[in-house]
């Protein structure tokens, strides 16, 4: 805004809100006004929740998940099958798999994918800790659930190479037609993979 | 999420973020992860800005604007023309007019519109303070910039009635074709108004 219409505190709040994914400069203003109008019901509790997150959230030293406990809730949950580890690129993927609710396994968060052009080598990722976890024993299966991108697949191959000689079954997610997906909109690679991996009716 | 995958603090943060306009349950999760990943650069400053807003933001006792000062920055700005007051429904409208930057006036925020069905009468709005402001003298023009809705126009008529006997010029925003607007998409009421208020080329 060209002219000063409010104290710098409100402008500052709007500028920071505009950096939150999903909000832009216009929706940040709207969000700020809404928060200010609901000061007691929303702004104060949200500020307190953020303060608490700043203070308490940490990265799990076992798996790389974010949580307020270390080791994280998943790593310490006795009902989880510790013999199965799902390897994901980041915490968002872990949350997505948990929403699917298909497995009761533990996780390992890599923190990205190998990308030599961006200077991201194996040391920048949480790979050594994964190998150590497997080498320590007790892991029967490693499900590599990285994205089906070139970087993801390169990372999967690198991890598989590093696991050579260790007694662990390594699997990956199936390729195929998304549930609810229409063939007409799918790329040739996915259709070919779905045909190759066809199953009996 | 069905199973516990993180401490309650993170779930609580996501639930509160989902109440921010512009964010829903899915984007709130994404926003929470982004904030946690940028703890020092974004989460901590945003939490501090919100804490400051909770502590400092108040409603201007003169005009109803929200600011960290009372009277607000606009009411105390000596470069503003205090003889012109723009009457708006809420602070979002004030901000929108300030972005347009067309007037260097002061404001009066009503806090809504008359709506008998919702139990909003003149006492629920910031109308008496407006009449007092005009009665105190020094106001030459009152620009009623409420929305062009039935409730807005009802409120405008009520205010005009209340000002009866006071020496002030009352004006309202022009109706017409939005700048950049296409006639084909405009409703008949707007087109009729634009024709009636036609100006010389």
Query: Is the CB of residue A52 less than 8 Å away from at least one CB of chain B?
Result: yes
Please tell me whether residues A50 and A115 are part of one structural domain.
no
Q: How many CA atoms lie within 13 A of A53 on its CB side?
A: 33
- Domain check: are B159 and B73 in the same one? yes
**Facing residue for B73 by CB, picked from A5, A56, A72:** A5
CB-CB neighbors (< 8 A) of B74 in chain A: 5
Cβ atoms of residues A43 and B56 within 8 Å: no
Task: Confirm or reject contact between B72 and chain A (CB < 8 A).
Answer: yes
- A51: in domain: yes
- Same-domain status, A36 and A133: no
Interatomic CA distance for residues A108 and A87, integer angstroms = 5
Lay out the sheet containing A141-144: strands in order across: A105-109, A81-88, A141-144, A169-172
Within this chain, do residues B134 and B52 fall inside the same structural domain, yes or no?
A: no
Cβ separation of A39 and B54 shorter than 8 Å? yes
Model confidence at A120: pLDDT above 70: yes
**Mean per-residue pLDDT over chain A, rounded:** 92
Q: What residues of A are in contact with residue B25 (Cβ under 8 Å)?
A: none
On whether any CB of chain A is under 8 Å from the CB of B192, the answer is no
Q: Which two tokens stand for residue A191?
A: 């259709």
Q: For residues B181 and B175, what is the distance between their CA atoms, to the nearest angstrom?
A: 13
The answer, yes or no, to whether residue A138 has pLDDT greater than 50, is: yes
Strand-pairing partners, residue A66, are A59
Give a yes or no: residue A3 inside a domain: no
Q: What ipTM score was computed for the predicted complex, to two decimals? A: 0.81
What would the mean pLDDT of A73-81 be, rounded to a whole number?
A: 93
Same domain, B106 and B33: no
B71: in domain: yes
Residues B125 and B38 in one domain: no
Q: Min CA distance, B194 vs chain A (Å)?
A: 29
| Cβ atoms of B34 and B13 closer than 8 Å | no
Non-local (6+) Cβ contacts of B113 within 8 A are B89, B120, B125, B146, B147, B149, B151, B152, B154, B155
Is the pLDDT at A124 greater than 60, yes or no?
yes
Round to whole Å and give the CA distance between A75 and B2: 17
Distance from CA of A27 to the nearest CA of B (A): 6
Task: Count Cβ atoms within 10 A of the Cβ of residue B82 and give its class: 0-12 exposed, 13-18 middle, 19 or more buried.
Answer: middle
| Pick from A49-63, A152-166, B93-107, B118-132: least confident | B93-107
Residue B107 CA to residue A100 CA, distance in Å, equals 52
CATH assignment at residue A127: 3.40.1360.10
Do residues B78 and A5 lie in contact, with contact meaning Cβ atoms separated by under 8 Å? no
CA-to-CA dists, residue A130 to A96, A134, A165, B107, angstroms? 21, 6, 15, 62
Helix %, strand %, coil % of chain B (to 5): 45, 15, 40
**pLDDT > 60? residue A1:** no
For residues A127 and B49, give the distance between their C-alpha atoms in angstroms, rounded to a whole number. 37
A123 shares its domain with A91: yes
| CB pairs < 8 Å spanning A and B | 188
Verify that B87 and B143 share a domain, yes or no: yes
Q: How far away is chain A from the Cα of B14, in angstroms, using its nearest Cα?
A: 9
Contact list, A106 vs chain B (CB under 8 Å):
none
In a domain, A187, yes or no: no
- Going along chain A, which residue ranges are E strands? 58-59, 66-67, 81-88, 105-109, 141-144, 169-172
Residues from chain A that touch B95, judged by Cβ atoms under 8 A, are 1, 5, 29, 33
* Cα A169 to Cα A135: distance, rounded to the nearest angstrom: 13
Mutate to test the interface with A, among B6, B19, B25, B102 (most CBs of A within 10 A): B6
Same domain assignment for residues B83 and B144? yes
Specify the long-range contacts of residues B32-36, CB closer than 8 Å, at least 24 apart: B33/A66, B33/A91, B33/A92, B33/A95, B34/A20, B34/A21, B35/A20, B35/A50, B35/A53, B36/A53, B36/A57, B36/A66, B36/B10
Which of the 8 DSSP states describes residue B107?
E
Partner A contacted by B169 (CB < 8 A): no
Whether residues B95 and A44 touch (CB distance < 8 A) is answered with no
Residue A130 lies in a domain: yes
Determine if residue A150 is left, alpha or beta; phi over 0 gives left, psi from -120 to 50 gives alpha, anything else beta: alpha
What average pLDDT values come out for chain B (201 residues) when binned by 10 residues?
A: 72 95 92 94 96 95 94 93 94 91 92 93 95 94 93 94 94 89 86 86 83
Residue B67 contacts A, CB cutoff 8 Å: yes
Select from A198, A25, A116, A20 the least CA-distant residue to B31: A20
Kindly tell me if the per-residue pLDDT of A2 is higher than 70: no
Q: Give residue A57's pLDDT.
A: 95
| Domain co-membership, B33 together with B80 | no
DSSP string, A35-59: HHHTIIIIIHHHHHHHHHHHHH-EE
Which chain B residue has the Cα nearest residue A20? B31
Averaged pLDDT, A162-168: 93
Q: Number of structural domains, chain B?
A: 2
Q: What is the DSSP letter of B103?
A: -
Whether A23 and chain B come into contact, CB under 8 Å, resolves to yes
- Say yes or no: B97 contacts chain A, CB-CB below 8 A: no
Are A50 and A76 in the same domain?
Answer: no
In a domain, B198, yes or no: no
Measured CA to CA in angstroms, residue A175 lies from A86, A87, A178, B12 at distances of 16, 17, 9, 35
DSSP symbol at B108:
E
Contact assignment for A101 to B2 by CB distance below 8 Å: yes
| A182 within some domain | no
**For residue B201, what pLDDT is reported?**
83
Query: What is the helix (H) or strand (E) element at residue B82, kind and residue range?
Result: strand B81-88
Q: Write out the residue range of the structural domain in which residue B39 sits.
A: 15-21+29-56
Token pair 């013999």 is found at: A83
**Is residue A93 domain-shared with residue A166, that is, in the same domain?**
yes
Asked if B96 reaches chain A (Cβ–Cβ under 8 Å), the answer is no
The Cβ of residue A60 has, within 10 Å, a number of other Cβ atoms equal to 22
Residue A110 lies in a domain: yes
């Amino acid at each position: 805004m060209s002219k000063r219409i409010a104290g710098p505190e409100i402008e500052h709040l709007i500028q920071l809100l505009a950096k939150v994914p999903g909000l832009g400069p216009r929706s940040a203003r709207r969000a700020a006004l809404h928060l200010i109008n609901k000061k007691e019901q929303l702004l104060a509790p949200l500020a307190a929740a953020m303060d608490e997150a700043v203070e308490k959230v940490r990265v799990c030293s076992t798996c790389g998940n974010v949580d307020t406990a270390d080791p994280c809730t998943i790593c310490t949950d006795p009902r989880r099958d510790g013999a199965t580890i799902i390897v994901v690129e980041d915490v968002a993927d872990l949350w997505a798999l948990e929403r699917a609710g298909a497995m009761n396994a533990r996780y390992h968060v890599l923190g990205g994918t190998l990308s030599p052009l961006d200077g991201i080598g194996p040391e920048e990722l949480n790979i050594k800790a994964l190998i150590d976890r497997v080498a320590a024993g007790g892991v029967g299966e490693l499900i590599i659930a990285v994205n089906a991108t070139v970087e993801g697949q390169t990372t999967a191959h690198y991890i598989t190479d590093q696991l050579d000689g260790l007694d662990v079954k390594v699997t990956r997610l199936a390729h195929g037609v998304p549930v609810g997906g229409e063939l007409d909109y799918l790329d040739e690679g996915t259709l070919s993979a779905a045909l190759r991996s066809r199953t009996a009716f």
